[in-house]
Amino acid sequence: MMSKSQIPNPKSQTTIAKAKFLAGSQNAIDVREQGGALLIRVKVQPKAPAGAIVGEHAGALKIKVTAAPENGRANRDAVKFLAGKLGLRRSDISIVSGEHSRDKLFAIRGLKRDEVLRRLQSLVPTQVVRSQDPESRMDRE
């Protein structure tokens, strides 16, 4: 977990950049750069038979973890799973919000935005990466 002083405020106006992963539909996985960290929404499904990246769900990255949602085990498993998939240390990934929910906001440190986008694109099947300015409109296919 990040200390209170390190936690970026997801509602802050200091968002520097935005990138989206677009599927064939108009749904997207949002990755924001804020306060020296990359923020990504993740939907976590606990008690799965195996850990896996499912894809996009309601604008968030959906993953499955094997741990039960008891005493923070599923949270620890989700951090460990994402760190392993992104090639990071567990200490580089933390939960900003949603500790008691399946919908979480993760902060990722230690990689530049473009590298995280490249790694996520290789992990999420049938997703296309589009990088954009927060103020610009997204092109519809």
Residue 20 or 85, more confident: 85
The mean predicted confidence, pLDDT, of the chain is 77
Domain boundaries, the chain: 18-131
Residues 6+ apart with CB under 8 A from 9: 34, 35
Select from 55, 97, 48, 92 the least CA-distant residue to 74.
48
Residue 133 or 32, more confident: 32
Residue 84 or 136, more confident: 84
**Is residue 9 very low, low, confident or very high in pLDDT (cuts 50, 70, 90)?**
low
- pLDDT, tens digit, 9 for 90 and up, residues 35-76: 889 999 999 999 999 999 988 888 889 999 999 999 999 999
pLDDT at 125: 64
Assigned architecture for domain 18-131:
2-Layer Sandwich (3.30)
- 3-state SS, residue 88: coil
Q: What is the dihedral of CA 56, 92, 129, 13, to 10 degrees?
A: 90
Q: Once rounded to an integer, what is the mean pLDDT over residues 20-25?
A: 42
- pLDDT, tens digit, 9 for 90 and up, residues 86-107: 999 999 999 999 999 999 999 9
Q: How many CB atoms lie within 10 A of CB 5?
A: 5
**Is residue 27 very low, low, confident or very high in pLDDT (cuts 50, 70, 90)?**
low
Amino acid at 61: L
